[in-house]
Structure 1
Amino acid sequence: MRLPGGVPVRLVLADDEPLLRRGLRTLLEADGRVVVVGEAADGAALLDVVRRTRPDVALVDVQMPGMDGLAALKALLAWSSPPALAVLTTFDLDDYVATALELGAQGFLLKDAEPETLVRAMLDLAAGGAVLDPRITARLLPKLRTRRLRETQHLDGLSARERQVLSLLASGRSNQAIATSLGLSEATVKSYVSTVLTKLGVENRVQAALVAHQVRDAW
């Protein structure tokens, strides 16, 4: 899968470790579906590279010198048309991930993810999906347990079709993929997604996906 017309996904990598960036670049570009159009070692450089290259996706390490990944995410999300933003992290940075979630990052991936998982995540993000490594989801859910009753009550307000949309959204599907799966137009799915976010009281697809994972047993 590539973007429409067979165009590869344009990606910017931000991490302060040159060897990690080099390794990621090699893995992600291996089959031609992703092309790295820029690299950055800190948040300030990331803003500059994104401004110059206008990528589809930016994959950002949260811990970088100077302006860190969180500050860069906040700045990018204030732009009128930012790229899809994914956080690249390790198991010991739960607080950073929780903050990135609140800021509105669309993807959360671990640095030891399999190459195909990383490539698929870049494709899904470029298509408008939300990506959560299951291991990150498992660590974030305990932090949200106090919200379980409220979110379950909100879930009760969803129609059967809205629950279908939420389930597919939680699996990382883009609006186009959801539309194909349910036999709906993309515009209709976009409307459903907006309604689901409003009813759940969340701000973005990743937060909705976490709610879905959190209350899945109550469906």
Structure 2
Amino acid sequence: MTQPIDLYYWPTPNGGKVSIMLEETETPYNLIPVDITAGDQFKPDFLAISPNNKMPAIIDPQGIEGQPLSLFESGAILLYLADKTGQFIPKQPRDRYSVIQWLMFQMGGVGPMLGQTHHFRQYAPEKIPYAIDRYTNEATRLYRVLDKQLSQVEYVAGDYSIADIAIFPWIVPHEKQGQNLADYPNLQRWFDAINQRPAVQRGLALLSEKRVSNMDEKAREALFGSRQLDQR
């Protein structure tokens, strides 16, 4: 009997990557909210699973060789679920590494840079023109990279894969990054196609009512304040 995976989750782009993958692969899971605006990410039980105090994280009771496996880092989780289910990653090595390189593009570029764009455009307590320009320009550059790639292929690495699943949730809030998808016709076509997938819609709907719009001081302290530096 298949036991459901425990998904430690909050409705952010990184959280959305894993919820979409679980929905796409029809993998049973238990949803365990980790309210990062209230500081749940600093609780000892969660840190035992995710020592970097970031979500998402998973525990698979039937992990490697039937033994429980816990994982943090959304990219690692996507790779694990792709291998576990045999879906959304090619078996042929050349194609597999094409998917992995675009997954790493998301992990090393799209996520960190667009995250900083969100921070300085929306959440920073003071408007710093240099930072806003720096990260908005980098967002533009990354969008252009994706648009060029998508002028040659239907999906980022050819067929629909974990690379697309990783990138898509970060493109959803494009307006907050100072971007207009009409400026990127190939990216717009890709975005619209993925946005219509029922599993994507279900994955992004999880706890959507909890998504932060106006951040209070308690949430700001939990996400960006000195609590990040506390010894644990």
Shorter-chain TM-score category?
A: under 0.3
Q: What TM-score comes out, normalization by structure 2 length?
A: 0.26
Greater per-residue strand proportion: 1
- Max radius of gyration: which structure? 2
Q: What TM-score comes out, normalization by structure 1 length?
A: 0.27
Q: For CA contacts below 8 A with separation 6 or more, give which structure has more relative contact order.
A: 2
